[in-house]
Every structure is written in structure tokens, then in C-alpha cells.
Amino acid sequence: MSNHNNHSNPAPPILLSIAGFDPSCGAGTAADVKTFAAHGCYGVAAITALTVQNTQGVQEVQNTPAATLRAQLDVLAKDCEIAAVKIGMLGNRGNAVVVAEFLDTYKFAHVVHDPVMKSSTGTELLDAAGIKYIVAEMLKRSSVITPNVPEAEILTGLTIKDTGDMEAAARKIVEMGARAVIVKGGHMDKAVDILFDGNEIMALAGDRGKEEVLHGTGCTFASALAAHLSAGRSLFEAATLAKAYVTKAIEKAYAIGKGRIPLDHFYRHKIEPPARGVHEVPQHGMHPAAEPAAH
């Protein structure tokens, strides 16, 4: 294949999202790609599942056949230099196995795994065999895993009532094979996240907003974390910055439907919709090559 790239613009870091597709674009792949873009990175994506959902909830899930997921991952890895990988919804054990094999083949510098198990409205997004596989095989293949409290309870079998329990769960997840973990307390009274890197426990304090009315906070946090890690930041710094980004994106969030509210991923850039009746059309046809030389 010849390289058609006549442009000498350097590419920003390329980040890969391995996640499900949410038609309302508040969570999953779309949230990941928007978050990557907001952090000055270019996002590519492999789809693990096609969901039928809007802001009011998930109606149906069709997991991608494992062979198709493998093919999606392979074409991307052969074409782009991927700086970091963010894993979200896997759907089932078959897809988890494909992703584990992919991680083994390419040995990426940064892998952020957000172990999505249920939708915010309670739909199962990973089968029981998939959960077992994450514990047995995926924990050790990630740089950091970012479960919320219910997910941390499922992974560890512990009951989590307060930050002390969150710390115990974080320690246990590392004992089970994870390199580092962030247990997200967004569903608790105080939105404290507990980070454990195998050496020390660190608390990320913050006010996470009303988790039960929001859509896509977990996807967005994990994606922002991947972006900051790809820039060479330490886990603690990356997590602190990712949390600040999510907090602000929540603050600026607006409803697009009748249900939960997606985040405003581009709050940093005041992007105005096109004004009515103002058209900037090139004078001589749409193609830049058709433009005459300046007189």
C-alpha cells in the first residue's frame, strides 16, 4: 500500500477504545472517543457490543461475534501506533478472551480496564463466565482497573459500606493480580475514590454529582485516565486530572433526552452550533483544488 499522507502534521497520541456502542452516545464508544478528543488525542474504536438504548435505559444487547471483534482489533493495531488502550464493556467471556489475547500480542504501554458489568439501569453487560475470566486473566493484563463499588463487590466478594471497606477491596483486587486499582465511590454518600498502586493507598476526594441521574461517568473517567497516562503522567496525577475533568463535565452537563444526562465532554471549548442563515461556502466549488490562485 502506498502512503497517501502528503500532510506533514504530526499525529497526536492514538488511543484505542474497546467498548460497546451506545446509540444515545452518552456512554461507551462515543463517550470514549469524545473524551480522547477533548484531551487532544485521536480515538480509534473496536465495538464489543451493539446496544439498543437511549438515555432512559438499555433495551437490548447484541454482543459482537468474537471473530469480528478480533478482526477489528487486528486491523487497527496493524495500522496505527496505539499509545494506550481503554477497555469498557466486554459483553461475554468470548470477547474477554479475544481482548486478553490481543493485549498479549501487542504489549501496550498503558491499559485502563473499566470492568463494566451492569448498565446504570441494571441491564447485565457481562456474563458470569466473563466476570470469572476478568478475575482469572484480565486483572493482570491491565495497568489499572477502575471498578465502581458494586463492581468491586462482585470482583472481591466483599461488602463495601464505607471508605475502609473500599480500601480493603482495593488491596484484595491487587492481591488477586491487578497491578493497580481505583475503586470509585461515586455511588456512595461521599464521592471519594480509593487508589491503590500495590504500595500505598491514596484517596481522590471530590464531589461526583448525583451519579443516579448521570450517564457515562465511568467510561469518561477511564478514558481521561488513559489519555493522561499516555502523556506519561503518574497514575495518581492522571487519576486526579481525570477526576477533575469528569467533575467539570458533570457540572456543565445538559439533558438530551427524557432520562439520564450525558456529560459535556467539550466544556473546555465553547463550541457554538452553526448560526442560522450564515453560510461560508467557497466561491469556486467545494474542492480546495478548484480554488483559483490568488490574483
Q: What is the pLDDT of residue 124?
A: 86
> Does the pLDDT value for residue 186 go beyond 60?
yes
If DSSP codes are grouped into helix, strand and coil, which group holds residue 227? helix
What would the grid cell of residue 286 be?
Answer: 467545494
Mean pLDDT of the chain: 90
Cα-trace Rg, the chain: 20
Alpha-carbon gap, residue 32 to 110, rounded angstroms: 15
Which tens digits make up the pLDDT trace of 220-244? 999 999 999 999 999 999 999 999 9
Strands (DSSP E) contained in 73-225 are: 82-87, 111-113, 144-145, 181-183, 193-196, 201-204, 214-215
Domains and CATH numbers, the chain: 14-149+211-264 (3.40.1190.20)
Which tens digits make up the pLDDT trace of 108-117? 999 999 999 9
| Amino acid of residue 290 | A
Nearest in space to 121 (alpha carbons), one of 222, 216, 263: 216
Q: What is the pLDDT of residue 283?
A: 62
> Does the pLDDT value for residue 185 go beyond 70?
yes
The pTM (predicted TM-score) of the whole model is: 0.90
Backbone angles phi, psi at 180, to 5 degrees: -155, 155
Q: Say which residue, 62 or 5, is predicted with more confidence.
A: 62
